[in-house]
Amino acid sequence: MALDDRYGAWLATRHLIQQGHTRIGYLCSNHDISDAEDRLQGYYAALEESGLPCNDRLVTFAEPDESGGEQAMTELLGRGRHFSAVACYNDSMAAGAMGVLNDNGIDVPREISLIGFDDVLISRYVRPRLTTVRYPIVTMATQAAELALALAEQRPAPEITHLFSPTLVRRHSVVAPQEGDKS
């Protein structure tokens, strides 16, 4: 059983592109784990499929938590504001990034749209509420429990889904870029 992290990041980035964003940043985890690489590759794939350039100056790496999101967004802003949207490795990084944007008087989503990943509790409580990507956690937990019980009882494993696909959760942190600001 696994999560399709590449598809999830592709879905998030594609949503920003569908809204009209053409210069999209990405805040990535600096941990050397497969989901960080898979999500980064999903971001790049969405850009490439849409004919948009993959600009490494729009990608920053940091710890996958709120303070890492603050650090990554601060670094991205320090490179110049040549983007209208940012996709984030997870919702915690997005929350930290949103704090930096707010502290700098940058309106989310009117000036910069922001999208997270994982649909954790914080995504419902930041303002504006965070658009994000969600996995079918209940289904995943149920299948994991059924598999564990079958193995413990030494009976055949039930049919399970091995790769779970996420869905987009539209809230209020993503809008089309303002006219003339599709950078």
pLDDT tens string 139-181: 766 767 777 777 788 877 666 657 778 999 999 999 999 876 5
Question: Which tokens is 170 given?
Answer: 């539209």
Is there a contact between 130 and 94 (Cβ–Cβ < 8 Å)?
A: yes
SS3 per-residue string spanning the chain: CEECHHHHHHHHHHHHHHCCCCCEEEEEECCCCHHHHHHHHHHHHHHHHCCCCCCHHHEEEECCCHHHHHHHHHHHHHCCCCCCEEEECCHHHHHHHHHHHHHCCCCCCCCCEEECCCCCCHHHHCCCCCEEEECCHHHHHHHHHHHHHHHHCCCCCCCCCCEECCEEECCCCCCCCCCCCCC
Please name the residue that has the structure tokens 């879905």.
11
Q: How far is CA 120 from the centre of its chain?
A: 12
- pLDDT, mean of residues 29-47: 97
Q: What is the mean pLDDT of residues 128-146?
A: 81
Q: Which fold has domain 2-135?
A: Rossmann fold (3.40.50)
Per-residue confidence (pLDDT) for residue 179, from 0 to 100: 73
The whole-model pTM stands at 0.88
Per-residue pLDDT tens over the stretch 62-113:
999 999 999 999 999 999 989 999 999 999 999 999 999 999 999 999 999 9
Phi, psi of 138 (to 5 degrees): -65, -45
Q: How many CB atoms lie within 10 A of CB 63?
A: 18
Note the pLDDT tens digit of each residue in 42-56.
999 999 999 999 999
Q: At what angle do helices 34-49 and 5-18 cross, to 10 degrees?
A: 40
